[in-house]
Amino acid sequence: MEVHFASDVETRLQQIAFANGKDAEQLVKDTVTRMLDNRAQFIAGVERGISQAERGEFLEHDDVKNRINKLFRS
C-alpha cells in the first residue's frame, strides 16, 4: 500500500519522526497501528456495555451523578 501526503504534511511528519528518533514511515506505521488498536478497544468496550445493559447491569442517571460528585469531593 502506498499513501501520499501533501508536502507540508510530509514535512511535519518528518519533523515529528525525527524528534522521536524514527523515520517518517515508521512513525506512520506506529500511529496507524495504535489508531486501529484504539478503535478495536473502543468497539469491544461498547459491545461489553451493550451486553451489560441487556442483562440489566447498569446505573441509573442519579447514581452516576452521585458517584461523580463523590469523586470530585475526594
pLDDT per position in the chain (74 positions), as tens? 999 999 999 999 999 999 999 999 999 999 999 999 999 999 999 999 999 999 999 999 999 999 999 999 97
pLDDT of residue 74: 73
Return the DSSP state at 22.
S
Task: Give domain limits for the chain.
Answer: 7-73
pLDDT of residue 60: 92
pTM reported for the whole predicted model: 0.72
pLDDT of residue 47: 98
- Could you give the dihedral angle defined by the CA atoms of residues 51, 58, 38 and 21, in that order, rounded to the nearest 10 degrees? -150
